[in-house]
Structure 1
């Protein structure tokens, strides 16, 4: 992969109340890891862990501390998908490669969180490199290197009652997707960027990031709730997940009285209001 970026590491779902979000996502059929608290920040999270990627439910515990823009996001947009992290095995090398290519990225920054385990507190640690808006336009993103990956994935956290086994991609509404093509060709190479009319698909490892305007999204996904008129600021409108068994997914959602629609190609769409503002699409793994 270009610059050592391996794909998407995790997605970020901003939530107003962490405990309520945990209950909602548990009802959806996800197993959540114990709550983590970011050291030195005012934020905390619950995570839906998969074998190679994950979903982070991010909330505010102490608004007097640094919350990395979550307060502004919730005030302006409400709950929902707010960004994502790419994965790297060596963030120092990734940053060096980006800068050498003329792409703006921050120095690696350390982050740790306290993970509240039954046997005591663990301390997962990370290095983050933040990508400048001109480097990866259209969505807030950064690159994560896991320094203690063994602390984040226990076998029991990887089993989900709804059959979900991993991330497949993200769908982003933006008024002018074509304008993004040069930046993502510089970031990942021309072979990783596909354009079909005004729809742009970026391939990041095994994941896809689809950028489209509201009119194309209405044609592709008529069930999605989209803002009226032009989109304005770009927004992530859907996360696509792989399911090992779509019948199992349907059974769990039905049993839990979760609203969903089964679409062409057997994809299953859970509307955002059932998942703290994050529309979820389940497809066959």
Structure 2
């Protein structure tokens, strides 16, 4: 055990280290790929989950990535993707946090009275030009009460060099990392304690109708339908209140002016704050409100 510091005991070990990736589900995977290419992303070659009827395109960043996920064979196991698309439609569906040791993460969660199972192994193929690649992962699924409002799991990459390849990371729009995720919930204040149990109380800020969680550099923001418009002005395009769950993300880019030029070249409609983000409406990003910051 580490000795206590002069200012108190050492910080408690946490089961996650940050955000690994976000899942964006779509009815038509190839159409989604083209949409995100218009947004200035260069997808990695298509991946296929072994033994499942789902496939993906990953938009790799210097830190983390975005996963476009769709159904390619509905006769096989779909891991609930068909139900998600039927009830919520296209858009953000879940977050994958990162963990260095998922067995250790599971023990830490159980010590906090979070009921989790054992880590599961997963493989998928990548249809690379030089031949098929076989990246491997471990996943630890989190119960809904542990991450209210946000379906989530913890991911450990066992073969990171296969997926973070330089030619896949260099994005034409200058995207570097996921900077934020916005989640709509009925009662923002109610999510503060569960997320503090995972990320630490010092990582959580609770003000009015907004709870903000520092997730290792990426900020998770939980708000209600009224607070959503203050964070994302493109939300005014909704004709009815958005369904609870993840609805918007912020992606950090190297140069917003250069990103704006890429969006214009792709014919993407967006709003530009003088000194703030570039706001892309959900209609231009498969149901995702996207801010480039």
The residue number in structure 2 matching 1:118 is 129
The residue number in structure 1 matching 2:66 is 55
Of 254, 261, 283, which aligns to 1:273?
283
Q: Distance in 2 between matches of 1:226 and 1:200?
A: 22
Of 155, 159, 171, which aligns to 2:170?
159
The residue number in structure 1 matching 2:103 is 92
Q: Does 1:217 align with 2:228?
A: yes
Q: Distance in 1 between matches of 2:49 and 2:42?
A: 21
Q: Does 1:82 align with 2:93?
A: yes
Q: TM-score, normalised by structure 1?
A: 0.95
CA RMSD of aligned residues (A): 1.5
Of 206, 220, 242, which aligns to 2:252?
242
The residue number in structure 2 matching 1:206 is 217
Tell me, yes or no, if the aligned pair for 1:2 and 1:188 is still in contact at 8 Å. no
Q: TM-score, normalised by structure 2?
A: 0.92
Range with bigger deviation, 256-265 or 209-218: 256-265
Of 58, 81, 95, which aligns to 1:70?
81
The residue number in structure 2 matching 1:254 is 264
Q: Distance in 2 between matches of 1:72 and 1:131?
A: 18
Unaligned residue ranges in structure 1 (runs of 5+): none
The residue number in structure 1 matching 2:7 is none
The residue number in structure 1 matching 2:5 is none
Q: Does 1:40 align with 2:51?
A: yes
Q: Distance in 2 between matches of 1:118 and 1:268?
A: 34
Q: Distance in 1 between matches of 2:166 and 2:288?
A: 26
The residue number in structure 1 matching 2:188 is 177
Deviations 1:1-37 (A, max 9, x none): 8424111100000011111111111111101100000
Tell me, yes or no, if the aligned pair for 1:81 and 1:278 is still in contact at 8 Å. yes
| 3-state SS of paired residue (1:170) | strand
Aligned residue pairs: how many?
Answer: 281
Tell me, yes or no, if the aligned pair for 2:63 and 2:176 is still in contact at 8 Å. no
Give 4+ residue runs of structure 1 displaced > 3 Å after superposition.
none
| 3-state SS of paired residue (1:95) | helix
Kindly state the Cα deviation for residue 193 of structure 1 after the two structures are TM-superposed: 0.8
Of 15, 22, 25, which aligns to 1:14?
25
Kindly state the Cα deviation for residue 106 of structure 1 after the two structures are TM-superposed: 2.3
Range with bigger deviation, 30-39 or 71-80: 71-80
| 3-state SS of paired residue (1:97) | helix
